[in-house]
């Protein structure tokens, strides 16, 4: 193709691309059958180059085989002069091998003699339409994932901030949904104002936003967040209405690029909820979750997350006995997860459970835990026919609508009797719909499955949870008993919880019994069962079966 024609192609293409925001465009010089395509299309569909000879045939290769006939016909008609343009829909293969639905609109541009000169068109990728959030005009969660992937790929030093509004539903209820949208828009503006020149702002799910910042200065970012917080709690106006917003935030400085964007997202959600639930909205900075660990914990979390995808390879369960307080005979056991591999050794759950609970993958791990515990449990049953197997259930599992059917199908598959199963939940489930939970627990109990309320007293509304839900056992956290012999307030707390449980016809289990003295002291509170290092640490299944309890 001669230089003039190429220049003309380029200049037309550039004008064209300005107006075609959000679509991929192509421009074909029909005489030479030479085309130019958007760079984003070349990347997304893995095309050979922005400039292509015979692009029609190359593009046809990307189109789903079942849709090719329609495409070929319409191209033939255009090149033969039968049609002036086309407007068709087909599936095209993306860089990762998946198919996305596209709308392709094209038209022929003729020269002064009426001969076809150019074929120009735009392809809209339906899969990426939601890259922009329509309420705030910001890039959406998908845009965020895309940009994070790019950063990781470029190994660009950055930090990511997540922030969002607490109690937004109150605003929606009070002022209506339209006003709620305005609040979000105004909040988005405030973020952009405060974090101006820092990087890009994204609207994530619900009322959460993210900022990808070029700054890695924790102090500076913390200052900016304080400014934002002050602004939205004191000087925030929507339609002349003064509103006070409570917000939360987390900050992650990215140093490690060999990780998945999903891992970053789960860590962000984790620090966000830490900020909301434990720090009253102060910014939480993600560093090694377990201090004193020289390994980079995001790297560990990323590896552990990947093993969930690989059939939960590397996870294993340990079992800790639960004894009757009076007879000291075995009542049951609690299944506790661990993870190990050669490089990282054994990783305890505090280092990965809280973050993975924020991950869409957690329910899969939850099913693995339940299945493994039931399979091991069948062996324990031969030795201890009446024992109860306690399995920890995260709120991330409870909120999935298929949780009940998952439990029953695992019971059926493994043949473990439901009467020997106890599900341990924590008061964090108060964030879920209480009516749904109530019904769920009623179904479980009808089949003999028991429910225990774990870590009682450590959260905000243990009492509320106990009042609302049918609970068989209340587990008193180790926090309240570790100084029980000396601390009067701990003594009153245990006494109080014990009588409270009694009022709701629940029995009490105390965790963290470490010595015979503690056991003797605790016996005065009418406690049903004990669990703690005094009896045994959590141990693998084969060791458990060899021991005598």
| Residue numbers at the binding site for ligand C2E (CB under 6 A) | 320, 335-337, 348-350, 353, 369, 392, 394, 454-455, 478, 511-514, 531-533, 538
The Cα diameter of the chain in Å comes to: 104
Distances (CA, A) of 480 to 11, 217, 326, 465, 487: 74, 39, 21, 19, 9
CB of 509 to ligand C2E, least distance (A): 11
User: Among ligand C2E, Ca ion, none, what does residue 350 contact (CB within 5–8 Å per kind)?
Assistant: ligand C2E
Q: Is 227 or 478 the residue whose CB approaches ligand C2E more closely? A: 478
Give yes or no for residue 359 binding Ca ion (CB under 5 A).
no
Q: Is 202 or 368 the residue whose CB approaches Ca ion more closely? A: 368
Distance separating the N- and C-terminal Cα atoms of the chain: 86
Q: Is 248 or 392 the residue whose CB approaches ligand C2E more closely? A: 392
Q: Is 302 or 392 the residue whose CB approaches ligand C2E more closely? A: 392
Q: Is 119 or 456 the residue whose CB approaches Ca ion more closely? A: 456
Q: Provide the 3-class DSSP secondary structure of residue 218.
A: helix
Q: Provide the 3-class DSSP secondary structure of residue 102.
A: strand
Cα torsion angle, 158, 161, 162, 165, sign: negative
CB of 331 to Ca ion, least distance (A): 15
Q: Are 436 and 444 in contact (CB under 8 A)?
A: no
CB of 308 to ligand C2E, least distance (A): 13
Q: Is 117 or 455 the residue whose CB approaches ligand C2E more closely? A: 455
User: Among Ca ion, ligand C2E, none, what does residue 394 contact (CB within 5–8 Å per kind)?
Assistant: ligand C2E
Give yes or no for residue 424 binding Ca ion (CB under 5 A).
yes
- CA proximity to 118, closest of 69, 78, 70: 78
Give how many residues touch Ca ion by CB under 5 A.
Answer: 4
CA atoms within a 13 Å half-sphere pointing along the CA-CB vector of 412: 7
Q: Is 348 or 417 the residue whose CB approaches ligand C2E more closely? A: 348
CB of 337 to ligand C2E, least distance (A): 4
Contacts of 529 (CB under 8 A, 6+ apart): 322, 323, 324, 325, 331, 332, 473, 507, 508, 509, 510
Cα angle: 360, vertex 364, 367; to 5 degrees: 140
Q: Are 106 and 86 in contact (CB under 8 A)?
A: yes
Q: Is 265 or 480 the residue whose CB approaches Ca ion more closely? A: 480
CB of 134 to ligand C2E, least distance (A): 36
CB of 300 to Ca ion, least distance (A): 22
User: Among ligand C2E, Ca ion, none, what does residue 140 contact (CB within 5–8 Å per kind)?
Assistant: none
Give yes or no for residue 357 binding Ca ion (CB under 5 A).
no
Q: Is 228 or 410 the residue whose CB approaches ligand C2E more closely? A: 410
Give Rg (Cα) of the chain: 30
Q: Is 164 or 321 the residue whose CB approaches ligand C2E more closely? A: 321
Contacts of 55 (CB under 8 A, 6+ apart): 26, 28, 33, 35, 37
- In the stretch 382-401, what mask flags binding to Ca ion with x, by CB under 5 A? ----------x---------
CB of 370 to ligand C2E, least distance (A): 9
Cα angle: 468, vertex 474, 270; to 5 degrees: 75
Give yes or no for residue 454 binding Ca ion (CB under 5 A).
yes
CB of 474 to ligand C2E, least distance (A): 13
The Cα–Cα gap between 357 and 398 comes to 11
- CA proximity to 426, closest of 392, 450, 449: 392
CB of 403 to ligand C2E, least distance (A): 13
CA atoms within a 13 Å half-sphere pointing along the CA-CB vector of 223: 6
Distances (CA, A) of 139 to 79, 145, 216, 264, 504: 38, 10, 22, 18, 50
Q: Which stretch binds Ca ion (CB under 5 A): 78-86, 243-251, 438-446, 453-461?
A: 453-461
User: Among ligand C2E, Ca ion, none, what does residue 538 contact (CB within 5–8 Å per kind)?
Assistant: ligand C2E
CB of 390 to Ca ion, least distance (A): 7
User: Among Ca ion, ligand C2E, none, what does residue 533 contact (CB within 5–8 Å per kind)?
Assistant: ligand C2E
Chain residues in the site for Ca ion (CB under 5 A): 392, 424, 454-455
């Amino acid at each position: 193709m001669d230089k003039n024609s190429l220049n003309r192609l380029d200049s037309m293409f550039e004008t064209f691309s300005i107006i075609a925001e959000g679509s991929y465009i192509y421009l074909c010089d029909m005489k030479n059958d030479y085309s130019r395509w958007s760079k984003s299309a070349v990347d997304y569909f893995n095309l050979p180059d922005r400039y292509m000879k015979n692009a029609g045939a190359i593009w046809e290769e990307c189109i789903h085989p079942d849709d090719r006939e329609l495409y070929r016909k319409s191209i033939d008609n255009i090149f033969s002069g039968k049609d002036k343009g086309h407007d068709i829909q087909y599936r095209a293969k993306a860089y990762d091998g998946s198919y996305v639905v596209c709308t392709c609109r094209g038209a022929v541009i003729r020269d002064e003699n009426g001969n076809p000169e150019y074929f120009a068109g735009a392809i809209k990728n339906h899969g990426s339409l939601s890259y922009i959030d329509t309420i705030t005009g910001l890039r959406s969660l998908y845009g965020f994932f895309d940009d994070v992937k790019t950063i990781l790929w470029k190994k660009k030093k950055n930090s990511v901030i997540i922030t969002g509004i607490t109690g937004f539903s109150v605003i929606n209820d009070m002022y209506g949904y339209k006003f709620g949208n305005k609040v979000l828009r105004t909040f988005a503006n405030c973020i952009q104002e405060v974090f101006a020149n820092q990087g890009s702002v994204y609207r994530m799910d619900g009322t959460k936003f993210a900022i990808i910042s070029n700054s890695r200065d924790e102090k500076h970012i913390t200052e900016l967040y304080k400014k934002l917080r002050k602004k939205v709690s004191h000087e925030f106006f929507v339609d002349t209405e003064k509103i006070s917003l409570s917000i939360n935030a987390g900050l992650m400085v990215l140093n490690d690029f060999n990780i998945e964007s999903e891992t970053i997202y789960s860590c962000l959600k984790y620090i966000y909820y830490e900020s909301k639930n434990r720090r009253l909205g102060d910014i939480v900075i993600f560093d090694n979750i377990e201090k004193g660990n020289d390994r980079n914990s995001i790297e560990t979390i990323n590896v552990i997350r990947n093993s969930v995808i690989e059939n939960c390879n590397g996870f294993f369960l340990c079992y800790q006995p639960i004894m009757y307080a009076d007879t000291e005979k075995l009542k049951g056991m609690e299944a506790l997860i661990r993870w190990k591999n050669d490089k990282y050794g054994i990783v305890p759950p505090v280092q990965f459970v809280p973050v993975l609970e924020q991950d869409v993958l957690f329910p899969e791990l939850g099913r693995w835990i339940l299945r493994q515990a039931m399979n091991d449990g069948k062996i324990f049953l031969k030795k201890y026919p009446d024992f109860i197997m306690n399995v920890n259930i995260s709120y991330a599992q409870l909120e999935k609508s298929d949780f009940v059917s998952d439990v029953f199908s695992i019971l059926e598959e493994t043949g473990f009797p439901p009467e020997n199963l106890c599900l341990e939940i924590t008061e964090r489930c108060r964030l879920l719909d209480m009516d749904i939970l109530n019904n769920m627990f009623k179904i479980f109990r009808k089949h003999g499955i028991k429910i225990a309320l774990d870590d009682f007293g450590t959260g905000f509304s243990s009492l509320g949870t106990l009042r609302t839900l049918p609970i068989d056992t209340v587990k008193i956290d180790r926090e309240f008993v570790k100084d029980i012999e000396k601390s009067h307030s701990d003594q009153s707390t245990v006494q109080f919880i014990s009588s409270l449980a009694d009022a709701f016809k629940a029995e009490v289990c105390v965790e963290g019994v470490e010595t015979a003295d503690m056991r003797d002291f605790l016996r005065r509170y009418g406690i049903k069962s004990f669990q703690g290092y005094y009896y045994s640490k959590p141990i693998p299944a084969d060791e458990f079966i060899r021991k005598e309890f």
